[in-house]
Amino acid sequence: MNFLQHDVPLSWYLLLSAALFSLGVVGFLIKRNLITVFMSIELMLNAVNLSFVTFAYQWHEVRGQIFVFFVMMVAAAEAAVGLAIIIAVFRARQTLAVDRIDLMKL
Amino acid sequence: MNDFAHLWLIPLFPFAGFLLNGILGARMPRRLVSIIGVLAPLASFVLVLSAFGATMIGAAANCPRCGDVTALTLPVVETLGPSWISIGALNVDFSLVLDQLSMVMLLVVTGVGFLIHVYSVGYMHDEPGYARYFSFLNLFLFFMTVLVLAGNFLLMFVGWEGVGLASYLLIGFYFSRESAANAGKKAFIVNRIGDFGFLIGIFLVLTTFSTLSFDKIAVLLAMSPDWQGTVLTVICLCLLVGAAGKSAQLPLYVWLPDAMEGPTPVSALIHAATMVTAGVYMIARTHLLFDRAPIALWTVAIVGAATTLFAATIGLVQNDIKRVLAYSTISQLGYMFLACGVAAYSAAIFHLVMHAFFKALLFLAAGAVIHAMGGEQDLRKMGGLRTKLPVTFWTMTAAVFAIAGFPPFAGFFSKDPILYAAFLQGTGGKLLWFVGLVAALLTSLYMFRLWYLAFMGEPRSDVKHHHANPLSMMVPLVILGILSVCGGWIGIERFSAYVFPVAAAHRPMPEGDPGIEIVLTIAAVLVALAGWLIADRLYRRKPERPAELAAAMPTGYRILLNKYYVDEIYDAVIVKPLFAFSKFVLGGIDLLLAGVAWLLAGIATFTGMILQRWQSGNLRSYAAWLTLGAAVLLLAAALWSGGWSASFHSISTHFTMNAAGH
| Interface contact flag, B627 A29, Cβ < 8 Å | yes
Closest CA in chain A for residue B659: A5
Q: Please, which pLDDT band fits residue B629 given cuts at 50, 70 and 90?
A: very high
One-letter amino acid identity for B322? Answer: K
Instruction: Say what the pLDDT of residue B651 is.
Output: 59
Q: With beta carbons less than 8 A apart as the criterion, state whether B80 and B10 touch.
A: no
Phi, psi of A53 (to 5 degrees): -60, -40
- Provide the pLDDT for residue B2: 45
For B424-477, the DSSP string reads: TSHHHHHHHHHHHHHHHHHHHHHHHHHHHHHHSS--SS-----PPPPHHHHHHH
Most A CBs within 10 Å, among B618, B619, B621, B653, to test the A interface: B619
CA geometry: angle A90, A92, A96, nearest 5 deg: 30
Please report the pLDDT score of residue B661 as a whole number. 47
Q: Is there a contact between B375 and B394 (Cβ–Cβ < 8 Å)?
A: no
Q: Which residues pair with B96 in a beta bridge?
A: B78, B150
Partner B contacted by A102 (CB < 8 A): yes
Condensed to tens digits (0 to 9), the pLDDT of residues B468-480 reads 678 888 899 999 9
Report the residue from B616, B620, B656 with minimal CB separation from A29: B620
Q: Which of B353-357, B361-365, B511-515, B604-608 has the lowest mean pLDDT?
A: B511-515
> Which residues in B have their CB inside 8 Å of a CB on A?
616-620, 623-624, 627, 651-652, 655-656, 658-659, 662
Helix axes B100-123, B492-499, angle to 10 degrees: 110
Cβ–Cβ gap A102/B656 under 8 Å? no
Nearest to B333 by CA among B309, B308, B314: B308
End-to-end CA distance of chain A: 52
Report the half-sphere exposure of A40 (CA within 13 A, side-chain side). Answer: 18
Looking at residue B504, its pLDDT comes to: 45
CA distance B258 to B254: 7
Upstream peptide bond of B251 is cis (omega within 30 degrees of 0):
yes
Dihedral sign of CA atoms A70, A72, A76, A79 in order: positive
Least confident of B148-152, B462-466, B576-580: B462-466
- B463, B378 Cβ separation under 8 angstroms: no
Find chain A residues with C-beta within 8 A of B623's C-beta. 28-29
CB B154 within 8 A of CB B85: yes
Confidence of residue B325 (pLDDT cuts 50, 70, 90): very high
Closest CA to B138 of B282, B322, B4, B270: B270
pLDDT for B615 beyond 50: yes
SS3 B2: strand
Lowest mean pLDDT: which of B334-343, B344-353, B417-426, B555-564? B555-564
Mean of the pLDDT values across residues B188-217? 91
Phi and psi at residue B210, in whole multiples of 5°?
A: 55, 20
Contact partners, residue B25, CB within 8 Å, separation at least 6: B33, B36, B130, B131, B132, B134, B135
B135 contacts: CB under 8 Å, gap ≥ 6: B17, B18, B19, B20, B21, B22, B25, B37
Lowest mean pLDDT among B324-333, B459-468, B627-636: B459-468
Q: Given pLDDT bands bounded at 50, 70 and 90, which one contains residue B653?
A: low
Backbone angles phi, psi at B69, to 5 degrees: -85, 135
Cβ <8 Å between A10 and B658: yes
Mean pLDDT, residues B210-223: 89
Residue A56 forms contact with B (CB below 8 Å): no
Q: Is-contact B330 B309, C-beta < 8 A?
A: no
To test the contact with chain B by mutation, choose from A4, A102, A104 the residue with the greatest count of B C-beta atoms within 10 A, namely: A102
Task: Note whether A25 contacts B: Cβ–Cβ < 8 A.
Answer: yes
Residue B19 burial class via C-beta count within 10 angstroms: exposed 0-12, middle 13-18, buried 19 and up = middle
**Torsion angle of alpha carbons B410, B411, B417, B420, nearest 10°?**
-150
Option in B616, B620, B659 nearest A10 (CB): B659
What are the chain B neighbours of A98 within 8 Å (beta carbons)?
619-620
Please check the confidence at residue B652 and state whether its pLDDT lies above 70. Answer: no
- For residue A1, the SS3 value is coil
pLDDT at B616: 78
pLDDT at position B67: 47
Distance (Å, rounded) from C-alpha B181 to C-alpha B171? 8
Q: Do A102 and B619 touch (CB under 8 A)?
A: yes
CB-CB neighbours of B636 under 10 Å: 10
- Residue B506 — very low, low, confident or very high, per pLDDT cuts 50/70/90? very low
Backbone angles phi, psi at B441, to 5 degrees: -60, -50
Which residue of B lies nearest to A32 if distances are taken between CA atoms? B620
In this prediction, residue B361 carries a pLDDT of: 93
Q: How far apart are CA B127 and CA B370, in angstroms?
A: 14
Average pLDDT over residues B72-78: 76
DSSP conformation letters of B54-93: HHHHHHS---TT-SSSPPB-SPEEEEEEEEEEEETTEEEE
B32: Cα separation from own chain's centroid: 31
Within 8 A of A10 by CB-CB distance, chain B residues are 655, 658-659
Instruction: Write the CA distances from B599 to B608, B610, B611, B612, integer angstroms.
Output: 14, 17, 18, 20
Question: How far is it, in rounded angstroms, from Cα B140 to Cα B263?
Answer: 14
Radius of gyration of chain B (CA): 34
Is A5 close to B662, i.e. CB distance below 8 A?
yes
CA–CA dist A101, A87 (Å, integer): 13
Q: How confident is the model at residue B505 (pLDDT cuts 50, 70, 90)?
A: very low
Rounded CA-CA distance A43/A30 in Å is 15
pLDDT digits (tens, 9 = 90+) for B13-70: 999 999 999 999 888 888 899 999 999 999 999 999 988 888 777 665 555 544 444 5
Report the C-alpha gap between B485 and B284 in whole angstroms.
25
d(C-alpha B147, C-alpha B275), whole Å: 10
A101 chain-B contacts, CB cut-off 8 A: 619
Q: CB of B443 within 8 A of CB of B531?
A: yes
Instruction: Write the DSSP string, B92-116.
Output: EEEEEEE-HHHHHHHHHHHHHHHHH
- A48 in contact with B at a CB cutoff of 8 Å? no
* Cα–Cα distance, B210 to B325 (Å, whole number): 42
Please give the residue of chain B at the shortest CA–CA distance from A6: B659
Mean pLDDT calculated for residue range B163-169: 93
What is residue B519's predicted lDDT score, i.e. its pLDDT? 87
Q: Do B620 and A98 touch (CB under 8 A)?
A: yes
Mean pLDDT of chain B: 86
**Taking CB atoms and an 8 Å cutoff, what residues of chain A touch B652?**
11
Preceding peptide of B75 cis, ω within 30°: yes
ipTM over 0.85: no
Task: Yes or no: say if B396 and B390 are a contact pair by the CB < 8 Å rule.
Answer: no
Whether A58 sits inside 8 A of B658 (CB atoms) is yes
pLDDT tens readout for residues B424-472: 888 888 899 999 999 999 999 999 999 988 888 777 776 655 666 788 8
Task: Tally the residues of chain A.
Answer: 106
Q: Which own/partner contact pairs does B541-546 have at CB distance under 8 Å and 24+ positions apart?
A: B543/B457
In sequence order, which residues have a C-beta less than 8 Å from that of residue B136 and are 6 or more positions away? Answer: B18, B166, B169, B170, B173
Q: How confident is the model at residue B199, as a pLDDT? A: 94
CA distances from residue A7 to A65, B248, B659 in whole angstroms, order as listed: 22, 107, 10
- What is the Cα Rg of chain A in Å? 17
Separation of alpha carbons B611 and B605, rounded Å: 10
- Say what the pLDDT of residue B443 is: 93
- Say which residue, B242 or B615, is predicted with more confidence: B242
Looking at the predicted structure, is the pLDDT value of residue B240 above 90? yes
Mean pLDDT (whole number) for B95-109: 90
DSSP string, B527-577: HHHHHHHHHHIIIII-TTHHHHHHHHSHHHHHHHHTGGGHHHHHIIIIIHH
The pLDDT, as a whole number, for residue B327 is: 93
Helices (H) and strands (E) in chain A, counts: 4, 0
CB contact under 8 A, B619 and A9: no
CB B120 within 8 A of CB B154: no
Contact B620 A5 (CB under 8 A): no
Bridge-based pairing of strands B76-87 and B90-98 is antiparallel
Instruction: Read off the pLDDT band of B188 (50, 70, 90).
Output: very high
Q: pLDDT below 70 — which residues of chain A?
A: 1-7, 104, 106
Lowest mean pLDDT among B232-236, B301-305, B404-408: B404-408
Q: Which residues are within 8 A (CB) of B185 and not within 5 positions of it... i.e. 6 or more apart?
A: B168, B172
SS3 B152: strand
Q: How far A70 CA sits from the closest chain B CA (Å)?
A: 23
